Structure 1
Amino acid sequence: MVAEKESESESETPLIPRARPKPRPIVQLGIFLISHSLLFSKHRLVSFCSVVFSTAGVLALLLLPVLAKNTYISENALMPGSVAPMLSNQEVAEANRLVKDLTSLNSKPLASAIGSQRLISQYMSNLGAEVSHHKFHPQLNQFHPLHFFSSPDSGRVEQNISCALHGVNTVGIIRAPRGDGKEAIVLVTPFNSVKLNQNEALSLAIAYSVFSLLTRVPWLAKDVIWLVADSQFGEYSGVAAWLRDYHTPVFSGLGTLDAEMCPESNNIYGLNENLSTKRTIYDGFKRAGTMAAALVIKVADRSEQYEDSLSIYAEASNGQMPNLDLINIVNYLAVHRQGLRVKVEKFWPLLGLKWLKTLGEIFESLGHLARSVNPQWKFGIPAADYIEGSATLASSLYYQALGVPTGPHGAFRDYQVDAITLEIFPKVSSLDNKVRKNDFLLRSGRLIEGVIRSVNNLLEKFHQSFFLYLLTSPGKFVSVGVYMIAFALLVAPLPMVAASLYVDASNSDYSLKIDKPAPFANASDEPCITLKSWKWLFAAKKVFFVHLWGSVVSLLPYFICQIPSCTPTTSFIIWVFLSILSLVVMYIVLASPSSHANESQPQRGEWAILKSVTLSAAFIGLCLMSVINFASAEIGGLLMVPMCLMAHPLKLDVKARSIRTVSRVVYNLVLGFIGFPPIAFIVLKGAFEGFSGVNVGDFWSWVESLWAWNSATYLYIGMVYLPCWVLCIHILFHRC
């Protein structure tokens, strides 16, 4: 009986139901659109919501300088400025001696590049560092579709390259007394071995003074690498080549690039000859640990009028940014410890716009009103700060959207190493007066020392702060959680209007009766086959082939580059001609209305179905691009969203002949003209730089720079933006 009761109790125990997995956000969005389809069937409501959301997206973008927050150090272990700097006048005197020797060497008529490199190697070796040389060949930047997603300097050397055409990097490594050799900090100074100027000599002096100090300090826990990058072929080339070989093991005994191709030019170890020191220059490629951070040090070729200043360049390929903490410690140490004025790039033409000044005054007034209601409400900034923040934000968006590095630091981001370029501007009188020059070297060296000391304190890689952000000033930023709101509001009308067009198409009569056999000719219940799904399939097919054509257009430059002695203007004209020809061929062969019987005559409402699919494709493309490069998606959305939403057949608007339809015709024609990529480029470049020197060949040169740096913006223009523009033009001239 007890066993029976136990079995009965066990059988009566209720089973705990398993929790259902939550649907994904995209599924929830689809369920919401389907369940509220009646709302999207009302044209006026959808149009009103589209205008509200688009306006809110633009307004949110203009509000970003107001919503910017002050920067702060997220990683407590950095502790910038917690210790007094150790760099003294002794290290500055040694650096001045290096500058004097380099200057006197280059002043000789028979001075050679190898002499400067030998001198730098000697100074490094005298400090006790491990010195080695790295030879590289300049990379020929040519568009190649199979290598597009590789790094810009991927180690491909042309077979017909001159063996005499090569550069040599000089590398010095300090082994940390308190480290295990697993981590390293990199200092980079670009150096033209063929023609050295005073600014590069000062850059070498700053790095050498810090390098000299670090050989004697007891607190160093990470190895320090000083890379004197040969910049005779560009500042980026030498750094990228060294990084490639640093992360790619070389098993030959020479440690040089392409020994088999250029055996007669591999004797770079002649740099060791005639050294006054007994220390050796290592023949192999020397390495340290994993790179924790990198600093590129440059002294600008122009001076500031009032005070020493510092510019920070952080943008890398495809809009990648270093961890914000690295910029924060540089800004903190430069301003609060060394008294340098820190600045970031800004769009200077925006500073004189009257409407931007008026908008800043409005926000300032709203801030005063908010604080009068509640003193704790911190809204609004001074109009002058708003204008400067907007110019800086526009510059940050622009350089991230280009996807092209703004300095040699971009090569490090390809290997997920946080790096920035520090360009130091001396005061006008600093280089003429010996005391002012020593003070400039001392302050700059102490800044680099403080940054290295902070990075040296880290027990792990930078991870606490932001990687996705926009700068509005050196001390203010906008995080990803804020600026994505503006993008979400901007693209929100696309799925709304697409759903509205879908509901309208579903409610329309797109059925076709089927001829029945004679016995059933008089039957009252004729069977019908609906063509709703077929219409959507035809529209999706057309959109697919237009985007396929966009990929063909993106590949055409590879073949155009093979044409010898072709100017940028000629290349651009050939590109446009081949693009139009390929579009016509693909339309006739694959997407022609005559390819199937059901599209032999244009159907009523067919343009609405095509527009719905186009809006969906534009929405997907913008969202995907926002993951890769937000700035490109944001700037492209400002052009694409109004163009896609306003697309309407001109024939229907002309027939209506009302003020609203006529204004829409004008608006669509203007958007269609300005939205064409070359025209948009010329208009934007002319607005910022003037129309006097602008020509169509500049667009080819700009696109060439995009593919040379493997920027995803190039693919976005060719495979997302251009197809959507073509589809919008097709909708405008649709035969209704």
Structure 2
Amino acid sequence: MAETKEKSLSDEKPKPRVRPIVRLGIFLISHSFHVSVVCCTAGVLALFLLPVLAKNTYISENALMPGSASPMLSNQHVSDGNRLVKDLTNPNSKSSETGIESHKIIAQYMLDLGAEVSFHKFHPQMNQFHPLHFFSSPDSGKIQENYSCSSYGINTVGIIRAPRGDGKEAIVLVTPYNALKSGFGEALSLGIAYSVFSLLTQVTWLAKDIIWLVADSQYGEYAAVAAWLREYQTPKFSSLSTPNAEMCPDVNNLFELKGHSISGSKFSNSFRRAGTMAAALVLKVRDQNEQFEDTISIYAEASNGQMPNLDLINVVNYLAVHRQGLRVNVEKLWSLLNSSWLKSLGEIFESLAKVAKSLYPKWKFGIPATEYVEGTATLASSLYYQALGVPTGPHGAFRDYQVDAITLEISPKFSLDKVWRNDILLRGGRLIEGVIRSVNNLLEKFHQSFFLYLLTSPSKFVSVGVYMIAFALLIAPLPMVAASLYVDANSSSNCSKGDSSTPSAITDTDEHSIAIRSWRWLNSAKLVFIVHLWGAIVSLLPYFISQIPDCSPTTSFMIWVLLSILSLLTLNSVLASPLACAKATQEKEWALVKSVTISSVFIGLGLMSVINFATAEIGALLMVPMCLLAQPLKLDVRAGTLRSFCRMICNLVLGHIAFPPAAFFLLKGMLDGFGNANVGDFWMWVESLWAWNSATYLFIGMVELPCWVLCISILFHTC
């Protein structure tokens, strides 16, 4: 007996040990509700803590050395800039219908300094939505077919060759100028640029070529800069004379005059180039006066949330504040500045910081409530404009070619009379000189500092390593809840079958039932796939609607809605739809649909975070609570508890807010007031997104809208 017992014990195989990570996964899945509450609360709290966690900006690249040298721009250079301003504001320079005289004046001034001058003639291009061109290169615009002499844009380009350089690198200075409708601010920006340009022709320390681009902004500032960049980066090897040029005598005279009347000059009919662009500055001067002090506004957002290297902003901020005495501004959401609840939240954080400091004096946590409100307004603006994916200025054209660029807009305090004009010319010119001198010191492109960041003020930022924590906390519960719903749906169906069957029947059909349950999720996956396919169809519909002539934005939006509903009903009748799920007889079918929906949302948000993190952040705030709370309203009504009633109210509120048009009108109402809201505004907003190839447009159509439809189908499931 003892030998038999020992033999049986030896034959027993040891049970495999479960790995700790598997145990942890099982624990999290079994407690997915509590994990979701903790993670979502922590994610929202982390977002509100970002202004508190913001760090002061600093110069990462030591070679920049801003302000290390005394400015060389003198009153003589300011006088030269003043002469150009006077000549451009002379009524005789605007006598031509095409503004040719102004271009001649600017070119002549450049030639007098010994710069290489050329003209770049371009046609305006139309930004139109086309599904096959959505991810194409930046030169995919459509050129208008009907040309006239006034439809040509003319950019004036001056190049200074660096005495200490090899011609492989260049710095670009852009000044938008509309010769037909120019204000005094545009002329003054040209005066500042010319004063700096005249200085740079005389210095010996210049190691990078300088390109001064006077962009013809009669068709838009961005269009002129983008057209010149297309020719610079992707040359077509064609001369300035085009087949239509003989129809425009003024344009012909512009080129022929400079080519023949100035013998030995550096004017060229061909397109001139310099080296690889190290950085670019767009300079503008506002005509309106600032109330308090001279300010300079920085615009940095480019297409799809691209930002320039933070060091470029840091250099401008340091020189403007500590060398020229200018106040630096970045965009804010002004509606948040007067928010009482935000001020109360800032006071709470300030009180907690005082308590923490009393417990541990070295812990520097917290900021004043007023600074918190301003930081939150700036952070929200930075997050919004990055998520929008539309450039905030002509500098965005440079980011399409991976060139760091920003737009600087100077707002003088007083009227631009002669005294204050000279002051703005001097201080603005020295600021541009200092920035160019710092970039000139670099041996390579900007690379040391951050490219992914959010600004809370001109001198504070939140790096990607900090703000991604909030996003990670928001989406962390999604895979766990999806797995928990899948397990619960299968286990509940197994229990229901076990209650109505004999033990022998269960034994006979065990393998068959397991096989059926393991593949039952495919019906839900098919449903989710079809709804996302419908989202792709909805995203393509505006291309066809835009072909309808003389169609107002309101009419286009209504047509879009009707066609979207019709396509959804068609897919419902042919394949499947949320309505088919609502009529399902299986009690836990909605749980499988919710599980697959949450999985698709997790994948969509993860992919979007790679393309445009700001869009993924805002999308997570809208979609994650709706996905986690979605449950049939019928079950909540049956339960009749306070918890189920609160969940039902939250589902109804989130169902309205997460609907893309409703979210747009809510945001527009917060910014501009609800009195100006119009149905056609949403169409115009969406039209701007697809015109700029914003990835947010695809996210709304192929991720957010299908997710909303699936969650609404779950809410109205007749279980």
> 1:589 and 1:361, CA in 2 relative to 1: closer, same or farther beyond 3 A?
same
What is the distance in 2 between the residues matched to 1:414 and 1:260?
30
What is the distance in 2 between the residues matched to 1:154 and 1:230?
20
Give the 3-state SS of the residue equivalent to 2:674 in structure 1.
coil
What is the letter of the counterpart of residue 27 of structure 2?
L
Candidates 656, 661, 664, aligned match of 2:639: 656
Give the 3-state SS of the residue equivalent to 1:406 in structure 2.
coil
Alignment of 1:311 onto 2:297:
yes
Candidates 513, 531, 539, aligned match of 1:554: 539
> 1:592 and 1:626, CA in 2 relative to 1: closer, same or farther beyond 3 A?
closer
Contact kept, 8 Å, 1:323 with 1:466, in 2: the verdict is yes
- Aligned-residue offset at 1:507: 2.1
Alignment of 1:534 onto 2:519:
yes
- Name the structure 1 match of 2:456: 472
- Name the structure 2 match of 1:497: 481
- Name the structure 2 match of 1:709: 692
Which stretch of the first structure deviates more once superposed, 274-283 or 650-659? 274-283
- Residues 243-294 of structure 1: per-residue CA shift (max 9 Å, x gap): 0010112223x146xx356663497352256668542531111000000000
What is the letter of the counterpart of residue 563 of structure 1?
I
Unaligned runs of 5+ in 2: 1-18, 498-503
Which stretch of the first structure deviates more once superposed, 614-623 or 528-537? 528-537
Candidates 701, 715, 718, aligned match of 1:732: 715
What is the distance in 2 between the residues matched to 1:607 and 1:222?
64
Give the 3-state SS of the residue equivalent to 1:531 in structure 2.
helix
Alignment of 1:574 onto 2:562:
no
- Name the structure 1 match of 2:5: none
- Aligned-residue offset at 1:196: 1.7
- Residues 278-330 of structure 1: per-residue CA shift (max 9 Å, x gap): 42531111000000000000001211123211100000000000000000000
- Aligned-residue offset at 1:548: 1.0
What is the distance in 2 between the residues matched to 1:720 and 1:394?
22
- Aligned-residue offset at 1:39: 2.4
- Aligned-residue offset at 1:375: 1.9
Give the 3-state SS of the residue equivalent to 1:421 in structure 2.
strand
Give the 3-state SS of the residue equivalent to 1:603 in structure 2.
coil
Candidates 150, 154, 165, aligned match of 1:179: 165
Candidates 282, 299, 313, aligned match of 1:327: 313
Contact kept, 8 Å, 2:531 with 2:577, in 1: the verdict is no
What is the distance in 2 between the residues matched to 1:404 and 1:89?
39
Give the 3-state SS of the residue equivalent to 1:472 in structure 2.
strand
What is the distance in 1 between the residues matched to 2:20 and 2:306?
35
- Name the structure 1 match of 2:357: 371
Unaligned runs of 5+ in 1: 1-30, 514-520
Contact kept, 8 Å, 1:308 with 1:426, in 2: the verdict is yes
Which stretch of the first structure deviates more once superposed, 413-422 or 501-510? 501-510
> 1:267 and 1:196, CA in 2 relative to 1: closer, same or farther beyond 3 A?
closer
What is the distance in 2 between the residues matched to 1:594 and 1:443?
66
What is the letter of the counterpart of residue 208 of structure 1?
Y
What is the letter of the counterpart of residue 431 of structure 2?
L
What is the distance in 2 between the residues matched to 1:638 and 1:240?
34
- Aligned-residue offset at 1:535: 1.4
> 1:186 and 1:629, CA in 2 relative to 1: closer, same or farther beyond 3 A?
same
Question: What is the TM-score when the length of structure 2 is the normalising length?
Answer: 0.92
Alignment of 1:75 onto 2:58:
no
Alignment of 1:673 onto 2:656:
yes
- Name the structure 2 match of 1:18: none
What is the distance in 1 between the residues matched to 2:612 and 2:55?
22
Alignment of 1:105-144 (within 5 A): 105-106=91-92, 112-144=98-130
Alignment of 1:143-162 (within 5 A): 143-151=129-137, 153-162=139-148
Contact kept, 8 Å, 1:152 with 1:710, in 2: the verdict is no
- Name the structure 2 match of 1:247: 233
What is the distance in 1 between the residues matched to 2:64 and 2:256?
43
Give the 3-state SS of the residue equivalent to 1:342 in structure 2.
strand
- Aligned-residue offset at 1:502: 1.9
- Name the structure 1 match of 2:327: 341
> 1:531 and 1:260, CA in 2 relative to 1: closer, same or farther beyond 3 A?
farther
Alignment of 1:39 onto 2:22:
no
Candidates 86, 90, 93, aligned match of 2:76: 90
Candidates 593, 596, 607, aligned match of 1:610: 593
Question: C-alpha root-mean-square deviation of aligned residues, in Å?
Answer: 2.4
What is the letter of the counterpart of residue 202 of structure 2?
R
Contact kept, 8 Å, 2:283 with 2:408, in 1: the verdict is yes
Give the 3-state SS of the residue equivalent to 1:408 in structure 2.
coil
Contact kept, 8 Å, 2:414 with 2:420, in 1: the verdict is no
What is the letter of the counterpart of residue 614 of structure 1?
T
- Name the structure 2 match of 1:21: none
Contact kept, 8 Å, 1:309 with 1:425, in 2: the verdict is yes
Alignment of 1:2-17 (within 5 A): none
What is the distance in 2 between the residues matched to 1:387 and 1:644?
30
- Aligned-residue offset at 1:365: 1.3
- Name the structure 2 match of 1:28: none
What is the distance in 2 between the residues matched to 1:344 and 1:396?
9
What is the distance in 1 between the residues matched to 2:704 and 2:172?
39
- Aligned-residue offset at 1:194: 1.3
- Name the structure 1 match of 2:10: none
Contact kept, 8 Å, 1:497 with 1:612, in 2: the verdict is yes
- Name the structure 2 match of 1:23: none
- Name the structure 1 match of 2:571: 586
- Name the structure 2 match of 1:518: none
- Name the structure 2 match of 1:268: 251
What is the distance in 2 between the residues matched to 1:262 and 1:96?
34
What is the distance in 2 between the residues matched to 1:664 and 1:373?
39
Contact kept, 8 Å, 1:361 with 1:382, in 2: the verdict is yes
- Name the structure 1 match of 2:9: none
- Aligned-residue offset at 1:125: 0.7
- Name the structure 1 match of 2:424: 440
Contact kept, 8 Å, 1:118 with 1:272, in 2: the verdict is no
What is the letter of the counterpart of residue 507 of structure 1?
S
Alignment of 1:723 onto 2:711:
no
**Higher helix fraction (1 or 2):** 2
What is the distance in 2 between the residues matched to 1:644 and 1:570?
32
- Aligned-residue offset at 1:664: 1.8
Question: What is the TM-score when the length of structure 1 is the normalising length?
Answer: 0.90
Give the 3-state SS of the residue equivalent to 1:509 in structure 2.
helix
Alignment of 1:191 onto 2:177:
yes
What is the distance in 2 between the residues matched to 1:48 and 1:512?
27
Which stretch of the first structure deviates more once superposed, 142-151 or 95-104? 142-151
- Name the structure 2 match of 1:626: 609
What is the distance in 2 between the residues matched to 1:40 and 1:79?
51
Alignment of 1:463 onto 2:447:
yes
> 1:639 and 1:592, CA in 2 relative to 1: closer, same or farther beyond 3 A?
closer
What is the distance in 2 between the residues matched to 1:305 and 1:656?
60
Alignment of 1:384 onto 2:370:
yes
Contact kept, 8 Å, 1:306 with 1:428, in 2: the verdict is no
What is the distance in 2 between the residues matched to 1:426 and 1:587?
61
- Residues 448-506 of structure 1: per-residue CA shift (max 9 Å, x gap): 00000000000000000000000000000000000000111111121121121122123
